[in-house]
Structure 1
Amino acid sequence: MTIRVLICDELPVVRAGMRTLLDAVPDIDVIDTTDNGMEAIVLVRTARPDVVVTDLNLRTISGLEMIRRLGKEDARPNVVVLTRSDGDKTVSDVLHAGASCLLGKDTSPQELVTAIRAAAEGRTMLAPDIAQRLVTWFREQPDTMESAPCPEVTELTPREREVTQMVARGMSTEEVARELTIGVATVRTHLYRVRTKLGVRDRAQLVSLAYRTGLIQPAAHAPGYEKPGPQEDLRAG
């Protein structure tokens, strides 16, 4: 499958360089580039890219605001963010806005290609230092997590619960379809209905709600869980 990509960056040299890099990858097709956040939204509506690769500094509206608005589109592309800032607020804002992958501007070409492929499959990838900080933060949280009430969860059908739990554990749409022996379109329909019932915009919010409501338990509470060692790869994917 060819991954259709839209590139957004304020610098022409960066856009041109990224396009040259990605055009050389057989399974990636760069459909367009822009330095304008509003134009990017129009291009998403008309060209329907699978993945948007963006900086946070754009004309007309910021990359962050663009990501938030894309989350409300019918054809929601997954977003890979490349940024020079990896401060805690930036990381929090980007992930809450709904981005799939967050990398630094010093990321390698291969890491960028890997992130685009991960985003196209509905998976997440973080720069190693960002992943390390998030893991450190998570390990510092209390072991006992109280479930937050969410009456809407009771409205989910058994199949919708099953799909939600599989997605929350990191499975892509295609993997869920194979596991349940159903079509990818059917999985997407289930996820759309779940998001509508629970009032969440995107996959990231859905996963967060699944954990907060106790619909799925963190790995530390699951049978057979072993605490990861310090040498394990910390990039999510």
Structure 2
Amino acid sequence: MTIRVLICDQLPVIADGLKTLLDALPDFEVIGTTHNGMEAIVLVRTTRPDVVVTDLNLQTISGLEMIRRLAQEEEQPNVVVFTVADNDKTVSDVLHAGASCLLGKDASPQELINAIQGAAAGQTILAPNIAQRLVTWFRTQPEPQENETCPEVAELTPREREVTRMVAQGMSTEDVARHLVIGEATVRTHLYRVRTKLGVRDRAELVSLAYRTGLIHSTDQSLDDERGLAPASAG
């Protein structure tokens, strides 16, 4: 399936560079580029891209305001924010506005491609440093007095529980595959089955549910201790 992409950035060198990168791939079609937030909204309505890749600094309206307005559209595109700003307020604003993915402009071309593909598939993907900060923040929150009840958790196989715990502790798909000595495709299959069983849409919801149901505790380091793992980035 071809992923149709709209690119929004004030700097032509970045917009044109992203267009050149994606146009060279068989499964991508760049339907346009713009530096104007209002024009981007019009283009979304007229061309129906699957994914919008945007910086937060745009003309007429900011990228953040554009994302908020796109979230009100009847047919919402998934949004990948590609920006130099990754402070805590920006991360919070972007996620609350409705963006699917958030990457810094130091991301590699492959990381950006993966994020666009993930966004098109309805996944949430964050830059590793941002994901780790969110996990660290979550671990500082007080433990709930009682775990949320979720009977579907009992349907998970031991391996699915193991993969879920690793992901909830901030490990990327590649890290999980390496430590379990299985293929990345197998890890993704396990995560897909877990999301299906638990009724969650993406990795962010899965991690939240894992903590809320007691599948993993914010202060529980048993899995790390058993395997001798250091905290890893999420992806």
Q: 1:102 to 1:145 in 2, by over 3 A?
A: farther
How many residue pairs get aligned? The number is 186
Matched, 1:42 2:42: yes
**How well do the aligned residues superpose, as a CA RMSD in angstroms?**
3.4
2:147, 2:214 within 8 Å by CA — same for their partners in 1? no
Give runs of ≥4 in structure 1 deviating > 2 Å: 145-148, 216-220, 222-236
* Equivalent residue number for residue 2 of structure 2: 2
Q: 1:94 to 1:145 in 2, by over 3 A?
A: farther
Deviation at 1:144, TM superposition (A): 1.2
Distance 2:217 2:59 in 1: 49
* Equivalent residue number for residue 77 of structure 1: 77
* Equivalent residue number for residue 22 of structure 1: 22
SS of residue matched to 2:7: strand
Amino acid of the residue matched to residue 214 of structure 2?
Answer: H
* Equivalent residue number for residue 100 of structure 1: 100
Unaligned runs of 5+ in 1: 149-168, 181-186, 192-202
Matching of residues 25-174 of structure 1 within 5 Å:
25-144=25-144
SS of residue matched to 2:30: strand
SS of residue matched to 2:66: helix
Deviation at 1:233, TM superposition (A): 4.5
Percent identity among equivalent residues?
Answer: 61
Amino acid of the residue matched to residue 234 of structure 1?
Answer: S
Matching of residues 168-187 of structure 1 within 5 Å:
none
Match of 2:214 among 216, 221, 229: 221
* Equivalent residue number for residue 235 of structure 1: 234
Distance 1:41 1:233 in 2: 37
Unaligned runs of 5+ in 2: 149-163, 168-187
Q: 1:33 to 1:147 in 2, by over 3 A?
A: farther
Amino acid of the residue matched to residue 222 of structure 1?
Answer: L
Q: Deviations over 1:62-103 (max 9, x none)?
A: 000000000000110111001111111111111111111111
Tell me the TM-score normalised to structure 2 length.
0.69
SS of residue matched to 2:6: strand
